[in-house]
Each structure stands twice: as structure tokens, then as C-alpha cells.
Homo-oligomer: A and B are copies of this chain.
């Protein structure tokens, strides 16, 4: 039986369905959640041969009109250039307001396809079918969509909630090792920011996590979705600071991704490094003890993530942080831990302390 997590947002409420073999239930899910008869599947060149074509055939067999569009795999596809190409493609395909965009892929595909859905004809329904661990536990839920500018990540976008999220855990079996480990960074993040018992659960199940044990994965994905749904419900548009906690590690992470041109690190890899930076920054401010920093680092490393800061230009990193969406009037904000399971938004951090952790 699939697990259902409801995201309660009034008229914009939707279900996250988590289970196995769910791809085959996508037709029903599309009909129920988006009342669709024409689906435009947006995917990438890796996922298309693995799942995309079969998925489109299944939908056609169920009587859907179904088109499939793909972009190169990887963060550089979250660009104006690819958004423009997709807008033209969707227009050429005779898409109308009864059409539904289906994002079948990882976070890059979800963010890009979601941005097309948010903006084409001033907004089309869309459904997320995330195929990476990172997208399943984080980016497919909550309605943040967008593309990058060369100067700053996710700078152009919208809050546009999906009509539904369908998480098929089976697809994780074909996920490359590096992508899988990158996703675990966001999993660990949920423990640090919101749920100390979940963090302890992860510490106690490292062998299961590393061999992708199905039962452990189902628990983990469902718990992360549940935690994220509760945060998004409280602060859909990131206005009150509640939702901002999800950006733990992300001020550093986005700066690393921006300075390295979006190609070198996977998002989750940069999140792991960013979390390590945020923990050290908090320690240097006397907010947490060294045992917190150590415990977080050990868990990240045991699930195969690197936490050491790469050698990058300090000035460029600080510039990129100042263009972060959380910055206000030139002051960078950080999400910093108080203790395991609890973080807060902190403005006015001494730039000298930030420089020291870079």
C-alpha cells in the first residue's frame, strides 16, 4: 500500500503518493490530481531511455495524448536558454490550459519543468514524478520552481504548487551511486533542522541506507516528505522564517554552486559541504559545541559525502552570498543550529567569521 502525505494549502492542496511500482498508476493519478487528458512529459537525456519512453507509452495506451520533451541531464539545463526552448516546444505542441506538465526526473527537471508550468499561459497544472532521492525528499515537494542566472542560483522562478507528487521508490534502484549519496545530504539535513530522533535513526541504520534497503528507504522518504509538508503548510511563500529553515547549509551551498559554474558539484554534494560550513560557523559563534559539528560530519561521511570545503576564491563566494535570496539590504542571512533538531535564522553575522569557515 502506498503512503499518502497530504500537503494542506487550501485550494492548492495536493497529495504525495509514496510506494513501489507506482509509475504504472500514473494515469489514474494524472486524471485525479490534474484532470488531464493531454500530458507533456519533461525529462532529461538520462531518464528518457530508462523510464520516459515507457511512461509515455503507458499514458498513450490509457488514452492520453502524450508528448515528451527532454533536456540534457545536469544543473546547466536550469537556464534561460532551455526555458526558452521549452516555451517554444510547448507552444508548438498546441498546449492549452487543459494540458498538464509532468516533470519526470531529478531536481533540475522538476525546477525547470515547474517553471514552464508556472509561466506558460500564466500557469498550467503540473505533476512531479521525481526520479532521484534528492528530488523525492526535497525539491519535488513545496512548489519552488525556477532557473539559475549565471550570477546566482534559482534567481528566476515562482512558487507554483504541483497538482500532485508521485514517488516511485523503484526508480532509486537505477540511480547512480553519486546521485544517491547527494540525495542523502538533504535527508541528513531534515534530521539536523527538525527531527533529532530521525537523525538518530539514520545513525543507527547506516548499513541499510548504504545498501539502499527498500524498507529503510520507504521510511526515510516518507518521513522527509512529512517534515517538508508541515513546514511548507506553515509558510508557503517563505515569508515568516519558518520555511527558511529548509535552507540550512544552502547559503554556502548556492555560493559554491554559483562560483563553480553549476557544473562541478551535484546540489546535494554542495549541501553537505554547506552544512559542514554552517555548523563550523555556529561553533565559532559559540552557538553549538564541537560534538554537534563532529556528529553531523560523521553521519555525512558515513553515507559517503565529502564535507571539506573545496579551494575557491573567498571574495567570489562572499559576493555570491550577498546575491542570495535570503540577503536583505546587503546583509547575508544564515540558518544556524541551536542544537540537534533545531535551527534558526541569523542575520548580522560578522563577515570575518564567515570568511574563516570558507
Contact = CB atoms under 8 A, between A and B. Distances in A.
Contacts of A88: 149, 151
A91 B147 CA distance: 13
Interface string A237-262: 11000000000000000000000000
A219 to B, nearest CB: 31
Interface in A177-234: none
Interface string A91-135: 110101110000000000000000000111111000000000000
Contacts of A329: 37-38, 96, 98
Dominant SS at the A interface?
A: mixed
Interface stretch (A18-26, A267-275, A300-308, A319-327): A319-327
A112 to B, nearest CB: 13
A122 B146 contact: yes
Which size bracket describes the interface of A in this complex?
A: 35 or more
Nearest to A146: B122
A313 interface: no
Interface string A63-106: 00000000000000000100010011001101011100000000
Nearest to A158: B122
A3 to B, nearest CB: 29
16 contacts: A80-B84, A80-B87, A87-B155, A88-B151, A91-B323, A94-B330, A96-B327, A96-B328, A97-B325, A119-B146, A120-B155, A122-B146, A122-B154, A122-B157, A122-B325, A123-B237
Interface of A: 37-38, 80, 84, 87-88, 91-92, 94, 96-98, 118-123, 144, 146, 149, 151-152, 154-159, 237-238, 322-323, 325, 327-330
